[in-house]
Structure 1
Amino acid sequence: MATTFADLGLSDPILRAISDAGYETPTPIQEKAIPYVLMNRDILGCAQTGTGKTASFTLPMIDILSQGRSRARMPRTVILEPTRELAAQVADNFETYGKYNKLNMALLIGGVSFADQEAKLNRGVDVLIATPGRLMDHCERGKVILTDTKVLVIDEADRMLDMGFIPDVEKIVSLMPPLRQTLMFSATMPPEIRRLAAKFLSNPKEITVSPPASTADTITQSVIRVDGRQKRRTLFRLLKDDTITNGLVFCNRKRDVATLYRALEEAGFSTGALHGDMDQYKRLEWLDRFKKNEITILVCSDVAARGLDIPSVSHVFNYDVPTHAEDYVHRIGRTGRAGRKGVSITLASDAESKYLGFIEKLIGKKIPVTDNTDAKEAPVETDDTGVEASNAEDTKPPRKSRSKRTDKAPRENKAPRENEAPRQDAKTREESRGRGGRKSGGRDRDSYYDVNDDPLPDIKDTPFGQTEQVPAFLLRR
């Protein structure tokens, strides 16, 4: 018989909220982690994205927080997230599952007014969800006191490591009491994460529900080999498929996100953009519109690849092959979530083959390669000169032949135009330029010597009347 949420020891208010959300049975990570969290054990959890990690710590934390009360500027629990979007998503989870519990929550992320956040902190919060940088800012201002923290959650620890947040995390942990419960979750478990776990956790229960860096079996993966100059055309063709309900398109660079977004918009696609340099309100607006299906295509950088819970993404397109193999796992983990089917398509040029090899080594299997039918069947677009459009700017016109004239009479000297000085012969031009035969602003080698190539006498001893022995560049000044 399948395990239910009631079998995990959760309270009735939480079970009602779970039922209202439409969930009936826990995922493997939830089934294994929730009982140990309720037992106040430290947890080191490793699970691929899309397996329900967020609920595995939010559900028991709501139960733990149902008893007791918070004090001003002293949060009872702290959840650290690497990105603003992921922090906002965790806040949504607390609102969903904690609606029958009277808990106060504060979200500390960049791009939002300090005054509004400080007002919530002064009223006292049970749950503090934050990115490391913004939490450090509040701590340095004296607006947050962490000496009463009972539970600490470090989510997406491997992403924290990649983004350089570990020094901030270590500083934050040093401000907390040593007797606390710490939960660390990560999609991958490199040696660096294990060293951090040994530093932050006390006798943790290690929970692994799938091999590290594995991809979900519900995702159909494929690679399309394509010339780098044909990527945009191939993507446009793929996006016209009627089976695509909605999709995420990932680029490696933020500027490419903006460029591709504009191109898709001009082509008539319902699209939005998401990258790290955007205003926070604009980022949240695009995410909300995508979740509500007001737009169907969201062009993203890797800021959106980790932990975003958008349940029904049908397709993920890797417009660029990620340079870090782990990012591939997180990108395609946005589809095929909670048992649903998903499709992942990667456009790979020859220059990106080595990154593709790293990915296949990490996930332990070959990704099927699909022919690029667009490149074979689609007519080649040309510009007005007949040059292929995608390569027009890189193509130069052929050089004209420089063969000697053999069939025409020799040219005659043309008469000078009106107001034009007569042409000089070679000897006259040579004499007008001076010795050396070239124009060099008066700094020719010969300009520093007299007629006989003897060194010039000291300028101080030379009478100004003897101009033939004065360097040419002095005369021009």
Structure 2
Amino acid sequence: MFTHFELSESLLKAITQLNWEQPTDIQQAVIPKALEQKDLLLSASTGSGKSAAFLLPLLERLIRRKKDNTDTLALILSPTRELASQLFKDCQALAAFTDINSIVITGGESLKPQAAKIRKNPEIVIATPGRLLEHLTAKQVFLQDLEYLVIDEADRMLDMGFHEDVLNIVKACQSQRQTLLCSATLSDPAVLRLAREIMTPDAEHIDLTETQEQPSIRQQIILADDRKHKERLLDWLLQNETYDKTIIFCNTRDQADALGNVLRYHDYRVEVLHGEKQHQQRKKVMQAFTNQGLKILVASDVAARGLDIDGINLVINFDFARKGDDHLHRVGRTGRAGTEGLAISFVTANEWNLMVGIERYLGIHFEQRQIKALKGSFTGPKKLKASGKAYGSKKKKNSSKADVKKSRPAKKPTTDSGGFGVIRKKTKKD
């Protein structure tokens, strides 16, 4: 029970309103230690309740503190706008019965209204690193009184190139503070290096990723010949699977835009989300997907972290994720809070070894599925190593360009076998 943590009545009232009955494993492990003001490195599976694990002790600390006219007391850094917005909503829900104020600062919005919010002296600032640095440079935000710092999704933040930005922000904070660093993995050298640079030497590690499973999520793979074959498979799934909402992941924004256009051509109502969308566009897409009846969202990995939307019971990896952690976060958009979910990944010959590597990295086994009506020519590698990976084809030495050209198979004409084919211009006969 949450009452075991000796939280204030205002927080317990908010928890009751949210219908939370029992703390999750990560909350049980983190909250008592965070209340002791220890520096912590945290890692837990997606959907584990990690946000509340650091928000509840943060809010409790501010409630117990005598309120005076200080600058920002708590800062939560997030790698993306979507995750920052979600954290802001979570914080507001938990602080609903307190007088603690929080704001969110991200790119894509005007600096002036954000500066006006900062001048109101909120206790908690939730921000993306780039935009916060702009306000720091303009001397619109001050962190010398900061007592509580959270770096959320640190691995993702470093992947996006924010290492120096984070260090510059930390330099503006007072050294006597509590720091919590959250990451999908605590074995990443870059994450450990950042931890050494910004945390106390006795910072405690809490890693629950190895003990937490996601039995409510079925993970399947479907072998595909090429991108056109994937499009036909996707069409079949969207017509035959039962789902309330689905996210279809691509590896790049260009691929996401292209797939969105293909789906629209075939009369699906779909929106596309990626990092190059303007803030207002992204906000509009998320509103449609959250509560306006939109069932299909095509996205790059910008949506793989931080989105906590009810009703996503199907995830389709049109392109296989490049890294195990990215796959984990994609799949984690479904099966939230113990509900059942299905994750389906398309795998071509070029993606086989990537799939096997991620399977071993995450310690999972993908269920292989076949759609008989759309069975392709790729049925798996002919020769496998002991690891399960396919042997690579060896190139002949000293082969001339002419020999290479002769060895290339002739291009086959593209056909449409009952699914998606080449997009052609519609005529009046159509």
| TM-score exceeds 0.5 | yes
1:166 match: 163
Whichever of the two has the greater Rg, that structure is 1
The CA deviation at 1:242 is: 4.8
1:388 match: 415
1:241 match: 240
Sequence identity (%): 36
Amino acid at match of 2:198: F
2:362 match: 363
Q: Classify 1:70/1:281 alpha carbon distance in 2 versus 1 (closer, same or farther; 3 Å).
A: farther
Provide the C-alpha distance between the structure 2 equivalents of 1:80 and 1:302, rounded to a whole number of angstroms.
19
Provide the C-alpha distance between the structure 2 equivalents of 1:320 and 1:218, rounded to a whole number of angstroms.
23
Match of 1:227 among 225, 228, 247: 225
Deviations 1:143-176 (A, max 9, x none): 1111110100000111111111111101111111
Provide the C-alpha distance between the structure 1 equivalents of 2:162 and 2:278, rounded to a whole number of angstroms.
21
Q: Classify 1:233/1:181 alpha carbon distance in 2 versus 1 (closer, same or farther; 3 Å).
A: same
Tell me, yes or no, if the aligned pair for 1:110 and 1:134 is still in contact at 8 Å. Answer: yes
Provide the C-alpha distance between the structure 2 equivalents of 1:155 and 1:124, rounded to a whole number of angstroms.
22
Which residues of 2 match residues 294-309 of structure 1 at below 5 A?
294-309=293-308
Deviations 1:442-470 (A, max 9, x none): xxxxxxxxxxxxxxxxxxxxxxxxxxxxx
Match of 1:113 among 106, 110, 132: 110
TM-score (norm 1): 0.76
Q: Classify 1:259/1:350 alpha carbon distance in 2 versus 1 (closer, same or farther; 3 Å).
A: same
Tell me, yes or no, if the aligned pair for 1:41 and 1:181 is still in contact at 8 Å. Answer: yes
The CA deviation at 1:217 is: 2.3
Q: Classify 1:319/1:6 alpha carbon distance in 2 versus 1 (closer, same or farther; 3 Å).
A: same
The CA deviation at 1:215 is: 5.7
Match of 1:99 among 96, 100, 106: 96
Q: Classify 1:46/1:164 alpha carbon distance in 2 versus 1 (closer, same or farther; 3 Å).
A: same
Q: Classify 1:289/1:70 alpha carbon distance in 2 versus 1 (closer, same or farther; 3 Å).
A: farther
Provide the C-alpha distance between the structure 2 equivalents of 1:198 and 1:331, rounded to a whole number of angstroms.
29
SS across alignment from 1:222: strand
Q: Classify 1:356/1:242 alpha carbon distance in 2 versus 1 (closer, same or farther; 3 Å).
A: closer
In the alignment, does 2:9 pair up with 1:21? no
Tell me, yes or no, if the aligned pair for 1:50 and 1:307 is still in contact at 8 Å. Answer: no
2:391 match: none
2:256 match: 257
In the alignment, does 2:376 pair up with 1:349? no
Q: Classify 1:348/1:104 alpha carbon distance in 2 versus 1 (closer, same or farther; 3 Å).
A: same
Tell me, yes or no, if the aligned pair for 1:226 and 1:372 is still in contact at 8 Å. Answer: no
Q: Classify 1:5/1:143 alpha carbon distance in 2 versus 1 (closer, same or farther; 3 Å).
A: same
1:191 match: 189
The CA deviation at 1:191 is: 2.5
Amino acid at match of 1:195: R
The CA deviation at 1:331 is: 0.6
1:290 match: 289
Provide the C-alpha distance between the structure 2 equivalents of 1:387 and 1:91, rounded to a whole number of angstroms.
49
Q: Classify 1:223/1:179 alpha carbon distance in 2 versus 1 (closer, same or farther; 3 Å).
A: same
Provide the C-alpha distance between the structure 1 equivalents of 2:132 and 2:195, rounded to a whole number of angstroms.
21
Tell me, yes or no, if the aligned pair for 2:232 and 2:421 is still in contact at 8 Å. Answer: no
1:312 match: 311
Q: Classify 1:266/1:388 alpha carbon distance in 2 versus 1 (closer, same or farther; 3 Å).
A: closer
Please identify, of 122-131 and 363-372, the stretch whose mean Cα deviation from structure 2 is larger. 363-372
Please identify, of 181-190 and 203-212, the stretch whose mean Cα deviation from structure 2 is larger. 203-212
In the alignment, does 2:128 pair up with 1:131? yes
Tell me, yes or no, if the aligned pair for 1:70 and 1:125 is still in contact at 8 Å. Answer: no
Show structure 1 runs of 5+ residues with no match.
378-385, 394-477
TM-score (norm 2): 0.84
SS across alignment from 2:230: helix
Provide the C-alpha distance between the structure 1 equivalents of 2:304 and 2:271, rounded to a whole number of angstroms.
15
Amino acid at match of 1:198: R
The CA deviation at 1:263 is: 2.3
Count, aligned residues: 380
Tell me, yes or no, if the aligned pair for 1:42 and 1:183 is still in contact at 8 Å. Answer: yes
Deviations 1:252-301 (A, max 9, x none): 01012112222223323332211001111221221122122511111110
Tell me, yes or no, if the aligned pair for 2:246 and 2:315 is still in contact at 8 Å. Answer: yes
The CA deviation at 1:241 is: 2.7
The CA deviation at 1:197 is: 1.7
Tell me, yes or no, if the aligned pair for 2:88 and 2:126 is still in contact at 8 Å. Answer: yes
Q: Classify 1:253/1:60 alpha carbon distance in 2 versus 1 (closer, same or farther; 3 Å).
A: same
Tell me, yes or no, if the aligned pair for 2:152 and 2:181 is still in contact at 8 Å. Answer: yes
2:143 match: 146
Deviations 1:177-235 (A, max 9, x none): 111000111111212212222222222222122319x7622210010001112111110
Match of 2:198 among 197, 200, 213: 200
Provide the C-alpha distance between the structure 2 equivalents of 1:387 and 1:260, rounded to a whole number of angstroms.
18
Tell me, yes or no, if the aligned pair for 2:243 and 2:312 is still in contact at 8 Å. Answer: no
SS across alignment from 2:100: coil
The CA deviation at 1:10 is: 1.4
Q: Classify 1:349/1:122 alpha carbon distance in 2 versus 1 (closer, same or farther; 3 Å).
A: same
CA RMSD of aligned residues (A): 2.0
In the alignment, does 2:102 pair up with 1:75? no
The CA deviation at 1:107 is: 1.1
Provide the C-alpha distance between the structure 1 equivalents of 2:99 and 2:422, rounded to a whole number of angstroms.
64
Amino acid at match of 2:326: D
Provide the C-alpha distance between the structure 1 equivalents of 2:28 and 2:16, rounded to a whole number of angstroms.
16
SS across alignment from 2:215: coil
Tell me, yes or no, if the aligned pair for 1:311 and 1:338 is still in contact at 8 Å. Answer: no
Q: Classify 1:343/1:92 alpha carbon distance in 2 versus 1 (closer, same or farther; 3 Å).
A: same
